[in-house]
Structure 1
Amino acid sequence: MTPRRCVVILAALALLAALAACGPTRTWTRLDDGAARGVARELAPASQGLGSWAELAPALERSLQYVRVKPQDAVVVRQDGLALTWGDLGRTLETLLASLPELDADPGLLARRFTWLRLAPRPLMTGYYAPHLDASPVADERHVHPLYARPPESQEADLGQFHPRWAGQRLTYRIVDGRVAPLPTREAIDQGGALAGRGLELAWIHDPVDAFFLHIQGSGILRFPDGSVRHVLYDGKNGHQYVSLGKVLIERGLAPAEGMSMKVIREFLAAHPERMDELLATNPSYVFFRLGDSGPYGAMGKLLTPRVSVATDPGLVPLGAVLALEAVLPPEAPGGPALRVAGLALAQDTGGAIKGHRLDYYCGDGPDVEFLAGHIKDPATVHLLVSREVLP
């Protein structure tokens, strides 16, 4: 074994010990048949902008493509006496895909063909979207803030290889003088120029706050001066812990907790430009991107589906899981009526801030969904659906 490999393993094991000390409490409760039938009757594809359950087919097929290439006997859920494998997730997706043509007429199939497991406590649900941004392929007087590609020295270790308890946990690092070291922080990159001049700049945009929120959303759409459009897609992060700027503003007494949103943060930064650099640097996490002709893509490497795809913590809800989701949503625009979603969601993404009992709801792209995505912040009722071929 090489010295470098030894160093990586030691660093990973140290992180495993830290993770073990702070793991969230997790509870899955099986519903009886009557309760499952009652919840299934409340689900409606229209609440997700779907005309029929049959429209879920493309998203389900993308999940199946991802799940089928995994080791089918590997356990991905092991908690509260429950053990599910990639093969079990695949059979669940296949059962749902086969049921779609009948679901509109007979929603009770969801109770008869699936075992329902309720997640407790109810997870906090937030929202995300893909913003549209004006950009330039080169720096100019207006576009001075770069979006960076992932530096070649960035490496990752899959901590799930050490113990299944940490499935989905990864360590991001680089090697400096033969030792494991973290990548530069947001402050070092944006204010210290840690990556400048290395040819890693993909594009340049005007507003540093737009760049900051693009990092949080994970992907977006760039519009260039010549009229061309490119998708800017998540391609990794620097491995530092995500810190919520909204939480920082609340803790410092700079903004009230009630009504905290992306809009509130933008307004505060616009009113206090002298504090912008300091406050943006409180989140050391930094996202790297790549350009593409389509998107956005989730952690599966598959296209996301608006109001169907959700980001989860894979240690709690694995990629490929089928979920029944119920939640009250904010209006799509200020002053509009509140919305309600009661439908079927697919775990197809992850996120730096999505840990434990958290759920991030993908709302779509562009300004029409910005208000909705930025104001979702309420508990949701979530059930994990498992084919009765797996759990009778």
Structure 2
Amino acid sequence: MISAFRKALGTAALCGAALWATSEVRAETSYRLASFDQLDGWAQDDHEKALGAFLETCRDLKASDWQSLCALAQQQPPSAARSFFELFFRPVLIEDGKQALFTGYFEPELRGSRYRGGRYQYPVYKMPAEARRAGTWLTRRQILTSGVMEGRGLEIAWVDDPVELFFLQIQGSGRIRLPDGRVIRVGYGGANGHNYRSIGQELVRRGIYNAHQVSAQVIQNWVKRNPAAGRELLFHNPTYVFFREVTGVKSSKGPLGAMNRSITAMRSVAIDPSYTPLGAPVWVEKDGARHVRQLMIAQDTGSAIKGAQRADIFIGTGNQAGQEAGKLRDPGRMFVLLPIQRAYALLPEDL
């Protein structure tokens, strides 16, 4: 998100109770305690940056042990960040029998205008009231060709590229840079209720590309080279995401995650809250072309992020971040750092 329409899940529970929310999850899941010296690269990380990301959201955690740890975190000098995590948390490897998978997501930045004209012909819509009431509403094709949205003042802005707008919908949030240099931030405002269908998989099905060749950039270039067929390709996905304008977030901050707080590039990760509590620190060991060994914070969710060892790393804002995020699909492993008593409570009773 990357993750397919990642904001579709909305905000999940903010406390650690989500970790063992159902007996079904508990029955299929194994928990193994680790020591910090078993975490590859732990001593070399910049723990101060991780502590800063943790402080963005820890005040929203409701459980008393998390609140106590958040209060302690606010008192730590930067030099004590590593010892703070080592003193009050224990790493837990949570597994559900599935292979670990790390992907990436980013915050797009599009070119746009408050008004239609010239190159700016593609509307970024707010959600109409009847779509919100309906649950499942019109398809993407119907929304964009029937005229149902026109003349109602639902446009937040107009952008210059329909494919970039399509991928903005997949990411669920982004920035629109106006001609005068000002920036509008938009966040997920709702969807039409249809199931997501991958246009990348459709290109593979048609024999245009092999699976390993498909990326956001490849799709974008193909649609631009084939405007009529490209428009039809985008209609293959019936899902349509609406937006809301986001105010009160500094331009220097990242977009809002599932906890309605700004997320941090390379320090925030989207997880499955059925296994990992939102707000918890997670130690990421991502392999692949670019190895990552960093402490991150679980501050987001995504509709494609399912499983104990499934995570989506927030790469950052803009085209370069988008290119990097689009290539990221790597194995590894992830440890959740839990308050000490919670960590030990997960272990089998016979240990």
**1:309 alignment counterpart:** 268
Cα RMSD for the two superposed structures: 3.0
**Counterpart amino acid of residue 246 in structure 1:** G
1:148 pairs with one of 125, 147, 152: 125
Counterpart check, 1:59 vs 2:26: no
Give the unaligned 5+ runs of structure 2.
1-23, 345-351
SS at structure 2 position matched to 1:184: coil
* TM-score (structure 2 length as normaliser): 0.78
Alignment of 1:204-215 (within 5 A): 204-215=158-169
* Equivalent residue number for residue 32 of structure 2: 31
Number of the residue aligned with 2:80: 102
TM-score scaled by length of structure 1: 0.70
- In 2, Cα distance between the equivalents of 1:94 and 1:253? 56
Deviation at 1:90, TM superposition (A): 5.1
Distance 1:66 1:239 in 2: 29
Question: Offset at 1:63?
Answer: 2.0
- Are 2:110 and 1:133 aligned? yes
Distance 2:280 2:257 in 1: 14
Deviations 1:341-366 (A, max 9, x none): 11122221123433446422111112
Per-residue CA deviation, residues 161-205 of structure 1 (Å, 9 max, x unaligned), is xxxxxxxxxxxxx24xxxxx5122222222333322221100001
Give me the whole-angstrom Cα distance separating, in 2, the residues matched to 1:307 and 1:185: 35
Take 2:332 and 2:143, find their aligned partners in 1: how far apart are those partners?
36
AA in 2 matched with 1:29: S
- One-letter code aligned to 2:341: E
The count of residues paired between Structure 1 and Structure 2 equals 313
Taking the aligned partners of 1:254 and 1:88, their CA distance within structure 2 comes to: 54
Check conservation: 1:115, 1:387, Cα contact below 8 A: no
8 A Cα contact 2:49 2:267, kept in partner: no
Q: Which amino acid aligns with 2:284?
A: L
Superposed counterparts of 1:373-392, under 5 Å:
373-392=325-344
Q: Give distance in 1, aligned partners of 2:85 and 2:124.
A: 48
Q: Distance in 2 between matches of 1:374 and 1:258?
A: 12
User: 2:173–2:255: 8 Å Cα contact kept in structure 1?
Assistant: yes
Q: CA deviation at 1:317?
A: 3.2
Alignment deviations for residues 57-91 of structure 1 (CA, whole Å, 9 cap, x no partner) = 332122223222xxx4xxxxxxxxxxxxxx56556
Query: 2: distance between equivalents of 1:201 and 1:270?
Result: 24
Whether the aligned pair in 2 keeps the contact of 1:328 and 1:339 (CA below 8 Å) is yes
Q: Which residue of 1 aligns with 2:234?
A: 280
| CA deviation after TM superposition for structure 1 residue 32, in Å | 4.5
Which structure shows the higher strand fraction?
1
User: What SS does the aligned partner of 2:287 have?
Assistant: strand
Deviation digits for residues 305-343 of structure 1 (CA, Å, limit 9, x no counterpart): 1111112233343422322111135xxxxxxxx421111
**Higher RCO by CA contacts (8 Å cutoff, separation 6 or greater):** 2
3-state SS of paired residue (1:31): strand
Paired residues of 1:299 and 1:348 also in contact (CA < 8 A)? yes
Give distance in 2, aligned partners of 1:89 and 1:380.
27
Describe the shift of the 1:197–1:301 C-alpha distance in structure 2 as closer, same or farther (beyond 3 A): same
For the residue of structure 2 that corresponds to 1:326, the secondary structure is strand
Mapped to 2, the partners of 1:26 and 1:379 lie a distance apart of 24
| 1:40 Cα deviation from its structure 2 partner | 2.5
CA contact (8 A) 1:184 1:194 kept: no
Partners of 2:261 and 2:242 lie apart in 1 by 18
1:340-355 matches, cutoff 5 A: 340-355=291-306
Q: Distance in 2 between matches of 1:284 and 1:25?
A: 35
Identity of aligned residues (%): 35
- Take 1:54 and 1:206, find their aligned partners in 2: how far apart are those partners? 40
Map 1:248-267 onto structure 2 (within 5 A). 248-267=202-221
